Amino acid sequence: QVQLQESGPGLVKASETLSLTCSVSGVSINNYYWSWIRQSAGKGLEWIGRIHISGDTNYSPSLKSRAMMSIDTSKNQFSLRVTSMTAADTAVYYCARDWSSSWGGGWLDPWGQGTLVTVSS
């Protein structure tokens, strides 16, 4: 059974950098793409980016210059860093296995339970 668990600080100060980690169990991180998605309170889902062990990464244009993802195969984890955080970045952040291929397509399954990140001023 594949499970994902997000971890990181629940509170980040404005202008600082957010660092989140997603721990994967039940499957090797080597064989898939992995994505981050966020959801602001009462709002819809926003895809942040995806990463593959090959080095292939894609980021949403809305975050492209501030987001960076990485993979740690020794720990079967992948991570997200978002710089220059603002109040608009306050959201629940989810990680998910991404069944897409190099050309796109696919779906997200399963998802982690999510972690709330609040940006304080």
Partner 1 sequence: QSVLTQPPSASGTPGQRVTISCSGSSSNIGSYTVNWYQQLPGAAPKLLFYSNDKRPSGVPDRFSGSKSGTSASLAISGLQSADEADYYCAAWDDILSGPAFGGGTKLTVL
Per CB under 8 A, residues contacting partner 1 are: 35, 37, 44-47, 49-50, 58-61, 94, 99-100, 104-114
Q: What is the DSSP string of the chain?
A: --EEEEE--SEEETTS-EEEEEEEESS-GGGSEEEEEEE-TT--EEEEEEEETTS-EEE-TTTTTTEEEEEETTTTEEEEEE-S--GGG-EEEEEEEE--BTTB---EEEE---EEEEEE-
| CB of residue 86 to partner 1, shortest distance in Å | 19
Nearer to partner 1, 26 or 110 (CB): 110
Nearer to partner 1, 73 or 113 (CB): 113
| CB of residue 113 to partner 1, shortest distance in Å | 5
